[in-house]
Amino acid sequence: MSEHIVPVRIYITIFLVLLTGTALTVLAAFYDFPWQFNTIVALTIATVKATFVVLYFMHVRYSSRLVWVVIASALFWMAILFALTFGDYNTRRLDHTRTSGVVILR
C-alpha cells in the first residue's frame, strides 16, 4: 500500500493552528488598523488556515502532481474571474452619487 498516512500528531497540530487562527482573526477585527489592513489581515489569516486544511486535512501535500495542477488551475481561473471583472469596473466611470442602490455605468 503506497498511500501516505498522515500521523495523528500532525492532525492535532493543524487543529490547534486553526483554532489559534480563528482566535487571532476575531481579536484583530476589533483593532483599528490603518488603511485597508483590517481586511488584509483577515484575508491573510483565512488563507493560511485554508492552506493548512488543503495541505494536511485534504492530504494534498502527499498527493500526486496531477492534483496540484488541478488546484493551481482553479486558483488561476479565480484570478481571471476577479482580474477581468475588476479591470472592467475600474476603467469605467461609476456614479455613486445616487444612493438608491442603482449604479449608472457610462
Partner 1 sequence: MSSEATTAEVHGHRALQHHFANMEQQREAGTLGMWVFLVTELMFFGGMFLAYTLYRSMYPAAFASASNHLDIKLGTLNTVVLIMSSFTMAMAVYFTQMGRQRRQVICLVLTLLLGLTFLGVKGVEYYDKYEDRLIPGHLIPGRSFDPEVQKEGEPPDHHKLHLLPGATKDNVEMFYWIYFAMTGMHALHMIIGAGLLTFLLIFSLRGRFDPEYHSPVEVIGLYWHFVDIIWIFLFPLLYLLGRHFEHG
- Give the three-state DSSP class for 59: coil
Which residue has 492552506 as its cell numbers? 51
Site for partner 1 in 44-73 (CB under 8 A): 45-46, 49-50, 53-54, 56-59, 63-64, 66-67, 70-71, 73
Q: Under the criterion CB under 8 A, does residue 105 sit at the interface with partner 1?
A: no
- Listed in sequence order, the DSSP H helices in the chain are 8-29, 37-52, 65-90
Counting residues that bind partner 1 (by CB under 8 A) gives 54
Q: Find the binding residues for partner 1 in span 12-31 (CB under 8 A).
A: 14-15, 18-19, 22, 25-26, 29-31
